[in-house]
Structure 1
Amino acid sequence: MMDIDKPLPYVGITPMQIITAMVVLVVGFIVAKIIVASFKKGLQKTKLPGLVIEFFARFLSALLYVAVILLAVKALGVSVGSVVLGLSAVIGLILGFGMQDTLTNLAAGVWLAALRPFDKGDFVTVAGQTGKVEAVGVMSTELLTPDNVLITIPNKLVWGSVITNYTKMPTRRVSIDVGVAYGTDLDKAIKVAMDIMKSHPKVLKDPEPAVVITGLGDSAINLQLRAWAKIEDYGTVKGDLTKAIYEAYMREGIEIPFPQMGVHIKEMPR
């Protein structure tokens, strides 16, 4: 029968120490999850935005996991001080080889959580990627695209790029471009478009909707319908108005011309 208090050959660690370390890891991770969940629940009762709460929760989680690992190492009979010293040496070596991105990402995450150019749930374009903000972690930011793809972007790229936030403001202008044929009665075309926008229940009265002539194209006079809607109604209003203006112009006999290209063939003399 194995003596669990007898050190194993070559490693100098007893089976009891291994069992204790495993118990510390399992129990420690469970306790850490409970602490983080309680911490997160407590912060949710405050007025802090979800993005900041998520950042703090992930930061605390990382610290607790490191503490649990150190306790497990101590349970194996290894000096925690030597482990910390070894980790410091490794970190110093990594930084010496130019891998200071970790600290850069951490600092960028702190700035993102503090200044909040976007909140959790906002729809943004950042670092060339577009999606809904899922979370800002200690090292990276997560975006969920409209087709349900999760994108993870290092915080330093997020902080160092132009951020376009489509849902930060309570309202947004819906712009719909449509072309009408040359010779069209523009007053009639504009009136039809205005009637459509004014009759839509989700188009705001203030600011008032408008129709502007944006240019004279190669085969059409370009009009733009401009209507304001609440941010949550933006997609619905854009889809409804696009469909409605097409159907109304077809019904009223207002031509929406196809793009045209003239091709001249010159016969070469024989």
Structure 2
Amino acid sequence: MVVLDKPLPYVGITPMQIITAVLVLIVGFIVAKIIVASFKKGLKKTKLSGLVIEFLARFLSALLYVAVILLAVRALGVEVGSVVLGLSAVIGLILGFGMQDTLTNLAAGVWLAALRPFEKGDVVTIAGQTGKVEAVGVMSTELLTPDNVLITIPNKLVWGNVITNYTRMPTRRVSVDVGVAYGTDLDKAVKLAMELMKNHPKLLNDPEPSVIITGLGDSSINLQLRAWTKTEDHWAVKVDLTKGIYELYMKEGIEIPFPQMDVHIKEMPK
């Protein structure tokens, strides 16, 4: 029969202390989650952005978890002061072997939350990775790609790289490239493209749409349709214009050529 208040051999800890420590961990983690949830709910009533709220909530969560672990250690009969002192010594040792990267990530996370080059839900390209911002944590930033892959990038790489934000501005220009065959009536081709854009319900009249000649290719005269729309409509409009200009040019007899190569074979004299 196990006596709850009798120390176990070799460890000097009683079963009761172990049970108490486990209960402290379970209850402590539950309480910590409730506190963090209430904290986030309160911050949402302020003017802080979702990104800052998420960062502060994660930071508070980390502090509470450390406090719960220290309480559990104390329940085992270990002096918390000695544990903190030991942890300080370990942290000091780690600092000498590369903890600077961790501190750099932490500092970068603070700057990202404060200066907000992007918000939660923005679509960005960072360090060659494109996705929707899910969260900025204490150490890293999370992006969700269009094919539902979660990418975690250290904050120091985010802060130290060029950040392209595709959704920060309320409007965005749609560009559609199309080539027409040499000999095409360019005035007619431009007029048809302009009519297509002006008749699209999601395109803005200011700035006005336009069609420009971008170059003379090997097999085509290259045109580009340019129109402005709301950022959230960008990809839908791009698909509509790409499909629409192809169908319209085919209907009006305007050739859209494809790259061709003529090969001439000469026989060598015998």
Q: TM-score range by the shorter chain?
A: over 0.9
Alignment match, 1:162: 162
1:30-45 paired onto structure 2 within 5 Å: 30-45=30-45
Which residue pairs with 2:126 in the alignment? 126
Counterpart amino acid of residue 201 in structure 2 = P
Corresponding residue for 2:110?
110
- Matches of 1:229 and 1:169, distance apart in 2: 11
Unmatched runs of 5 consecutive residues or more in structure 2: none
3-state SS in 1 of match to 2:241: helix
For residues 1-270 of structure 1, what are the structure 2 equivalents within 5 Å? 1-270=1-270
**Secondary structure of residue in 1 paired with 2:40:** helix
The letter of the residue matching 1:220 is S
Give distance in 1, aligned partners of 2:148 and 2:190: 39
Amino acid corresponding to residue 86 of structure 1 in structure 2:
G
Give the distance between the partners of 2:118 and 2:268, measured in 1 at CA.
Answer: 63
How far residue 214 of structure 1 moved from its aligned partner, in angstroms, is 0.4
Letter in 2 for 1:172: R
Amino acid at match of 1:160: G
CA distance in 2, matches of 1:74, 1:207: 67
Identity of aligned residues (%): 86
Cα distance in 2 for residues equivalent to 1:52 and 1:263: 62
Q: CA shift at 1:94, angstroms?
A: 1.7
Number of matched pairs: 270
Q: Which amino acid counterpart does residue 38 of structure 2 have in structure 1?
A: S
Moved more, 119-128 or 83-92: 83-92
TM-score (norm 1): 0.98
1:212-253 deviation digits (Å, cap 9, x = unpaired)? 000000000000000100011101100101000000000000
Q: Partners of 1:117 and 1:66 in 2: how far apart?
A: 30
Give the residue type in structure 2 aligned to 1:73: V
Deviations 1:47-70 (A, max 9, x none): 111000000000000000000000
Distance in 2, matches of 1:60 and 1:269, equals 86
Secondary structure, aligned partner of 1:73: helix
Which letter maps to 1:118? Answer: F
TM-score, length basis structure 2:
0.98
Tell me the distance in 1 between the aligned counterparts of 2:36 and 2:98: 33
